[in-house]
Structure 1
Amino acid sequence: MHVHPLITDSATLANLCARLSDAPFVTVDTEFMRESTYYPELCLIQIADTEEAAAIDPMAPGLDLSPLLALLTDNEDVLKVFHAGGQDIEIIYNLTGKTPHPLFDTQVAAMALGQGEQIGYSNLVDSWLGIQVDKGARFTDWARRPLDARQIEYAIGDVTHLSAIFPKMLERLKKTGRGAWLDQEMERLADPANYANDPDLAWKRVRVASRKADVLGRLKAIARWRELEAQAKDLPRGRIVKDETIADLAGHPPRKQADLAKVRGLSQTWASNDIGARLIAAIEGARPLSDDELPPRDDRKPGLGREGALVADLLKLLLKIRARDIDVAPRLLARGEELEALAAGQRKGLQILEGWRYDQFGHDALELVEGRLGFAVQGGKLKMTRTEGVAA
């Protein structure tokens, strides 16, 4: 494989993207810094196919990234391959308002091949290629220039190794017939809604014990205010106000700005400065959540009392057994909230009762809930067994 020198000019990048636009797939990775900013600071982009690879310096003066971004978001003929690509996709979304499509995530694919729920990149490379990745440059300051040869070599390796792994992984998926299992997961990853930081939804990320409509209404207003402040200042949310302080303000709102001096987690200067005034305005403008906006109760689904919780536990046990038997990560088959919904009597709108998930797990889950499936120990192993007198 030909590895290009670090690309810092627009003409070289445009030529590279023109060639890659004919490739069946490209592997993509980014290096970024986000410890002190709201938006990730893009520091390096790596891309490869089976013949060439390059690192691109987005911080180079005058570099036009549009050919690369068009390749990633507009070219439907080229599959974009990532490993644990959520943050890489978020960066591309922030730049374009679009996500790479079509895409393939090797961490998700590894779940279908029995390699656990969140296999790391180094372990993936070791298991598929027998190569030990040098992690020495992993925690480097990618924003500092110039980048040294070791940093660039490390970064390029992320996409060159992935370009060797992906065809092998694809072949194994075809042999096992599990490639189709991943289509829904990859489309979910590509959904732009996952990467849009909507200030009106920011409250859902903050843990608060109360379900009172007025408390949650204040929480929504304060979280929205914080999100907008963080975006405008390009600072992490926690640098504006921490989650626990937001929860405290929602539950025990100050009556006037001067009271902010008494709030733990806020500086006394908030009692008189502009940001404190904007916070008080947000609190005063808060309205109770409507019934439609209120989150479900702790039991999450109607009818999931003690007995339902026991049934949900049995479903989780069944999930572990089934995942072990077919050698996939349990989370690919089902998520906990779906098992609880099934235990509570819900039957519509559950992924485990559709398509391949129904064939591999959902059918047995229904059998268990409806009393036609049980557990037995055979040969020292816990297995599923049909109840007596009921046809399989």
Structure 2
Amino acid sequence: MKIHPLITDSQELADLCARLAQADFIVVDTEFMRENTYWPELCLVQIADTQEAAAIDPKAEGIDLKPLLDLLTDNEDVLKVFHAGGQDVEIIYNATGRTPHPIFDTQIAMMAISQSEQIGYSNLVESWLGLTIDKGARFTDWSRRPLTERQIEYAIGDVTHLSKIFPKILKRLMKTGRGEWLDQEMEKLADPENYRNDPAQAWKRIKAAGRNPAMLGRLKAIAAWREHEAQGKNIPRGRIARDETLADLASHPPKQQADLAKVRGFSQGWKDNEIGRRLMNAIAAAGPLPEDELPPRTPRGAPLGKEGALVADLLKLLLKIRAREIDAAARLLARSDELEMLAAGVRKNLAMLQGWRYDIFGHDALDLVEGKLAFAVENGKLKMTHVDDVAAGEVSDDQPAS
């Protein structure tokens, strides 16, 4: 494979992208910094096909990234391969308002062919290629220039290794026939809605108990206020206010701005500064959350009671057994909150009761809660047994030999 020197020239980048546009797939990775900013700062882009690989410097003076961004977001003929690519896709969305498509994530794919829930890149490389990655450059400051040869070599390794691993994973998926399991997961990864920073929706990321419309209306207003403040200053939202602080302010709103000085995490200056004034204005303007925006009455983690909790535990045990039997990640088959909802009596809008998940796991999960499935130990291993089959076996054993 040809490894290019660091690309800092627009024409060189355009030529590279023109060649990569003819490939069946390209592997993509990014290096970025986001510790001190609201928007992640793109510092390096690595890209490869089976023939060549390069690192691109987006901070190079005058470089035009349009050919690269067009390749990633407009070319439907080339599959874009990532590993744990959520943050990479977010950066591309922030730059273009679009997401890469079609897309493939090797971390998600591993869930269909192994019991790995979130396999890290170094473990992926070691398991497929038998190589150990030097992690020394992983936490360096990618925004500083010039980049060292060690940094560039480490960064390009991310895509050169993955370009060899992806075809192997694809072959395994084809052999197991589980490729369709991933279609929905990959589409979710590419869904622009996952990356749209809408301040009006920011409150949904904050844990708040109950469905009180007044409280949730205030939470929506002050969460939007925090997003606007953080975006305007380009600093992490947590530096404006922590989630717990917003939840507490929504539940116990201050009566006057001077009360902000008593809030944990706020300085004395909040009692009369402009940001405190904007916060108080947001609280004052907040109305009750409309009925159609309220969380569902049977939310995640629905109250189960003692018996329901036991049923949920049995479902989780069943999930572990099935995942082990088929060598797939349990989380790909069903989430814990779905199991709790099933135990609480919910049957609608559960992914595990639809499509291939129902065939692989959901059908047995329903049988368990309806008393049609039991656990048994055979040769020292826990397994699932249908009650009807056990009963039939007992009757057969009692019949006289003919």
Distance apart, 1:364 and its partner CA:
1.0
Change over 3 Å in CA distance of 1:127–1:97 after alignment to 2: same
Change over 3 Å in CA distance of 1:300–1:83 after alignment to 2: closer
TM-score, reference length from structure 1 = 0.96
Residue 365 (str. 1) matches residue 365 (str. 2): yes
Structure 1 residues 37-116: aligned runs within 5 Å: 37-116=37-116
Q: Quick one: percent identity of the two aligned structures?
A: 73
Which amino acid in the other structure matches residue 73 of structure 2?
T
Q: State the alpha-carbon separation in 2 of the partners of residues 299 and 146 from structure 1.
A: 50
| Greater mean deviation of Cα atoms: 22-31 or 241-250 | 241-250
Which amino acid in the other structure matches residue 70 of structure 1?
D
Q: State the alpha-carbon separation in 1 of the partners of residues 392 and 61 from structure 2.
A: 71
| Greater mean deviation of Cα atoms: 336-345 or 74-83 | 336-345
Distance apart, 1:303 and its partner CA:
8.2
Q: State the alpha-carbon separation in 2 of the partners of residues 297 and 220 from structure 1.
A: 18
Residue 118 (str. 1) matches residue 118 (str. 2): yes
Give CA-to-partner distance per residue, 1:156-183, whole Å, 9 cap, x none: 0000000000011111111111112111
Give CA-to-partner distance per residue, 1:44-64, whole Å, 9 cap, x none: 000000000000000011111
Give CA-to-partner distance per residue, 1:136-163, whole Å, 9 cap, x none: 1000000000001110000000000000
Q: State the alpha-carbon separation in 2 of the partners of residues 243 and 196 from structure 1.
A: 19
Distance apart, 1:69 and its partner CA:
0.6
Structure 1 residues 106-255: aligned runs within 5 Å: 106-255=106-255
For 1:261, the equivalent position in structure 2 comes to: 261
Distance apart, 1:212 and its partner CA:
2.4
**SS where residue 27 of structure 1 aligns?**
strand
Which amino acid in the other structure matches residue 267 of structure 2?
S
- Confirm or deny: 8 A CA contact 2:301 2:337 kept in the other structure: no
- Confirm or deny: 8 A CA contact 2:351 2:357 kept in the other structure: yes
Which amino acid in the other structure matches residue 6 of structure 1?
L
For 1:333, the equivalent position in structure 2 comes to: 333
- Confirm or deny: 8 A CA contact 1:299 1:305 kept in the other structure: no
- Confirm or deny: 8 A CA contact 1:207 1:247 kept in the other structure: yes
- Confirm or deny: 8 A CA contact 2:300 2:338 kept in the other structure: no
User: Considering only aligned residues, what root-mean-square deviation do their CA atoms show, in Å?
Assistant: 1.8
Q: State the alpha-carbon separation in 1 of the partners of residues 135 and 76 from structure 2.
A: 33
The number of aligned residues is 392
For 1:343, the equivalent position in structure 2 comes to: 343
Give CA-to-partner distance per residue, 1:39-93, whole Å, 9 cap, x none: 1000000000000000000001111111111111111110000000010000001
- Confirm or deny: 8 A CA contact 2:98 2:192 kept in the other structure: yes
Distance apart, 1:96 and its partner CA:
0.7
Q: State the alpha-carbon separation in 2 of the partners of residues 202 and 84 from structure 1.
A: 23
Which amino acid in the other structure matches residue 100 of structure 1?
P
**SS where residue 54 of structure 2 aligns?**
strand
Structure 1 residues 280-299: aligned runs within 5 Å: 280-296=280-296
- Confirm or deny: 8 A CA contact 1:29 1:82 kept in the other structure: yes
- Confirm or deny: 8 A CA contact 1:303 1:345 kept in the other structure: no
Structure 1 unaligned spans of 5+: none
| Greater mean deviation of Cα atoms: 351-360 or 71-80 | 351-360
Q: State the alpha-carbon separation in 2 of the partners of residues 82 and 256 from structure 1.
A: 50
Q: State the alpha-carbon separation in 2 of the partners of residues 294 and 323 from structure 1.
A: 35
Q: State the alpha-carbon separation in 1 of the partners of residues 349 and 206 from structure 2.
A: 26
Which amino acid in the other structure matches residue 114 of structure 1?
S
**SS where residue 388 of structure 1 aligns?**
helix
TM-score, reference length from structure 2 = 0.93
Q: State the alpha-carbon separation in 2 of the partners of residues 64 and 343 from structure 1.
A: 55
For 2:10, the equivalent position in structure 1 comes to: 10
Q: State the alpha-carbon separation in 2 of the partners of residues 192 and 364 from structure 1.
A: 34
**SS where residue 292 of structure 1 aligns?**
helix
- Confirm or deny: 8 A CA contact 1:301 1:344 kept in the other structure: no
Q: State the alpha-carbon separation in 2 of the partners of residues 299 and 50 from structure 1.
A: 46
Q: State the alpha-carbon separation in 1 of the partners of residues 129 and 155 from structure 2.
A: 17
Q: State the alpha-carbon separation in 2 of the partners of residues 106 and 196 from structure 1.
A: 24
Which amino acid in the other structure matches residue 45 of structure 1?
V
Distance apart, 1:271 and its partner CA:
1.5
Distance apart, 1:310 and its partner CA:
2.5
Distance apart, 1:372 and its partner CA:
1.3
Q: State the alpha-carbon separation in 2 of the partners of residues 134 and 147 from structure 1.
A: 17
Which amino acid in the other structure matches residue 131 of structure 1?
L
Change over 3 Å in CA distance of 1:72–1:21 after alignment to 2: same
